[in-house]
């Protein structure tokens, strides 16, 4: 999320693509665990898990940004808060 | 400009390679997850009907969930790209 | 398991090799968990876990094929069953 | 034909590299698994005798299990290759 | 000698690439770990204040722990390199 | 830990770097789990977890060497002990 914008630099773009793919995979694994704790029937179209999926993605993206901020602050030697 | 086109090509190839690798890895993860959830007895070397049905349900559930999450995630990425573009303009 | 056959295409063969290695690693991790829940003594040669290993590998390979089928059906927009 | 030989060579190299990477990754996973299972106290920075013995047993157990699973897995792959070849012939 | 320099260069590039990839992977793992620990309710699509504070604490804790572990690990590696060098000399 | 020394061979050095990075990552994940079972406050500087980190790293490095020995013995067909 706090990635440098690609400037024609192929290596940086590759690193960004790998990062986003990794983020998405970890997110969907985590949100599945949180939103579908049991596997009862095969149909997700109606009911809770879809709503939960939407909210979980929103919160996960926000958490990713938050963690990025904390990492930057610690690297700059500033204690957050 | 020829160089730029070549870079473009290499990027496309790279993306395609990554997508193939990614979907195969996801396939393996799905098998591991659903096997772990559905298979508990080892009295035979064939899946029984109950285990097989459980695996099918587990797959469908995860794949539908992932589809939905993909949609939402792409929307969020779109939004962020737009905000970044706007911030660029306001400079 | 539902991989295209290699036609001299090096990239496809590499992808297949990585896939099979990943499948094997996940399988042996999972079957170890299922078949050897506790580590009491170091010798596997006699008794249960060997039999369980054989059966677990058989079931895992079958499950891999089954999941492949379901993925294909969903990609083709057909609801399975 | 020279090109085919070269491809063959590159494939062999790639397989070897992958096998090295794979066995090192497995080594690390084995350490993590057995450490997680066997080490619970942190009153010293050296393993005690009980922990060490547990790690040795854990390794042996996992490595023997993996050997067995490898054999079975190769047999299954062999079978599937044969079936695929037969299906090819019957076309 | 020119070849040796070139190898050196490639090694440096490789190390840098690996470090970038590694730190991005660590970033993702940290998010996953702290999200898993801190977020339990999905009544909204925004983090609440308690969840956010928990994520900040979780990050700080893990990063400081990792710093400490990195120091110790480097000391151990140093020691082992020195022992290896000594063993070499005594041959 | 039981890695061949680099002899100008780039591939071997790359493999070693990946191995050491993977070892470090697995170690810090495991030691964090063992030493910081709960996340109460953000400050690690005082108290237990730092001491635990030091000891955990020491034990993990030792365990890595031990596992390497067992693997070598099994490969050479010798039963350890």
What DSSP letter does each residue of F39-71 carry, written as one string? Answer: ---S--SSSHHHHHHHHHHHHHHHHHHHHHHHH
Which residues touch F51 (CB under 8 Å, ≥6 apart)?
D42
Q: What pLDDT was estimated at residue B17?
A: 86
Q: Which residues contact D8 (CB under 8 A, 6 or more apart)?
A: none
Rounded to the nearest integer, the mean pLDDT of chain E is: 90
C8·D68 Cβ contact <8 A: no
Q: CB distance B42–C56 less than 8 Å? A: yes
Cβ distance A34 to E42 less than 8 Å, yes or no, reads yes
Which residue numbers of D have CB closer than 8 Å to F's CBs?
17, 20-21, 24-25, 27-32, 34-36, 38-40, 42-47, 51-52, 55-56, 59-60, 63
Alpha-carbon span F77 to F68, nearest angstrom: 14
| pLDDT band at E5; cut points 50, 70, 90 | confident
- pLDDT for position C39: 55
Q: Answer yes or no: do C66 and B55 touch at CB < 8 A.
A: yes
pLDDT given at position C24: 96
Looking at the partner chain, which of E10, E66, E77 has a beta carbon nearest the beta carbon of F10?
Answer: E10
Residue ranges in chain C whose pLDDT is less than 50: 1-8, 42, 45-46, 80-81
Among C5, A65, F21, smallest CA distance to E59 is for: A65
Cβ count within 10 A of residue C29: 18
Average pLDDT, chain D: 90
> What tens digit of pLDDT does each residue of C2-13 get?
444 444 477 788
> Six-digit token pair at D65?
């299990």
C22 contacts in chain D (CB < 8 Å): none
Tokens 């490639």 -> residue:
E10
* ipTM higher than the 0.90 cut: no
Do chains A and D meet with 3 or more Cβ pairs nearer than 8 Å?
no
Do B30 and B59 form a contact (C-beta atoms < 8 A)?
A: yes
CA-angle at F74, arms to F71 and F77, nearest 5°: 155
Q: What is the rounded CA–CA span in Å between residue F59 and residue F38?
A: 21
The pLDDT of A42-55, averaged and rounded, is 72
Under DSSP, the state recorded for C37 is S
Which member of A21, A43, A50 has the closest CB to residue B68? A50
CA distances from residue F78 to D56, D62, E51, F73 in whole angstroms, order as listed: 13, 16, 54, 5
Name the band, by pLDDT with cuts 50, 70 and 90, for residue F6.
very low
Higher-confidence position of F1 and A15: A15
- Of C17-26, D21-30, F19-28, F47-56, the range with the lowest mean pLDDT is F47-56
In the numeric block, which tokens belong to residue B16? 């395609």
Chain E CB contacts of F42 under 8 Å are 56-57, 60-61
Contact C13 D11 (CB under 8 A): yes
Domains and CATH numbers, chain F: 6-76 (1.10.287.810)
Is D69 close to C5, i.e. CB distance below 8 A? Answer: no
Whether A3 has a pLDDT exceeding 50, the answer reads: no
- Checking if the pLDDT of F5 tops 50, the result is no
Q: Kindly report the length of chain A.
A: 81
For the stretch E74-89, pLDDT in tens is: 999 998 888 888 888 8
Residues of D whose CB is below 8 A from F66: 47, 52, 55-56, 59
Query: CA of F31 to nearest chain E CA: how many angstroms apart?
Result: 9
From first CA to last CA, the distance across chain E in angstroms is 29
**Beta carbons within 8 Å of A10's beta carbon, 6+ residues apart:** B7, B10, B11, B14
Indicate the DSSP class of residue A44: -
Chains A–B, number of C-beta pairs less than 8 Å apart:
74
Q: Which of E3-7, F7-11, F30-34 has the lowest mean pLDDT?
A: F7-11
Who among A26, A52, A55 is closest to E28 (CB)?
A26
Nearest-by-CA chain F residue for E38: F39
Residue E61: HSE in the Cβ half-sphere, 13 Å Cα cutoff: 25
C7-14: list long-range contacts, CB under 8 Å, 24+ apart.
Answer: C8/D4, C8/D7, C10/D7, C10/D10, C10/D11, C10/D14, C11/B17, C13/D11, C14/D14
- Residue contact C63–B55, C-beta within 8 A: yes
A56–B69: do the CB atoms touch at under 8 Å? yes
B52: chain C residues, CB-CB within 8 Å: 66
- E36·A33 Cβ contact <8 A: yes
Q: Largest Cα–Cα distance in chain F?
A: 50
Would you tell me the crossing angle of helices A10-35 and E2-38 to the nearest 10 degrees? 20
Alpha carbon distance B10, B4 (integer Å) = 10
Q: Is the pLDDT of residue D37 over 50?
A: yes
């Amino acid at each position: 999320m706090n990635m440098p914008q690609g400037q024609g630099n192929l290596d940086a773009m590759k690193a960004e693509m790998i990062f986003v793919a990794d983020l998405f995979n970890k997110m969907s694994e985590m949100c599945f665990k949180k939103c579908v704790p049991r596997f009862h029937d095969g149909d997700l179209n109606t009911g809770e898990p879809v709503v939960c999926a939407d909210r979980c993605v929103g919160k996960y993206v926000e958490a990713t940004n938050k963690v990025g901020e904390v990492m930057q602050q610690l690297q700059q030697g500033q204690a957050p808060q | 400009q020829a160089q730029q086109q070549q870079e473009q090509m290499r990027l496309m190839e790279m993306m395609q390679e990554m997508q193939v690798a990614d979907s195969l890895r996801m396939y393996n993860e799905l098998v591991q997850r659903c096997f772990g959830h559905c298979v508990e007895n080892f009295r035979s070397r064939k899946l029984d009907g109950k285990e097989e049905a459980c695996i099918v349900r587990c797959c469908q559930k995860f794949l539908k969930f992932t589809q939905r999450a993909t949609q939402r995630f792409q929307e969020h990425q779109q939004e962020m790209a737009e905000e970044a573009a706007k911030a660029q303009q306001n400079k």
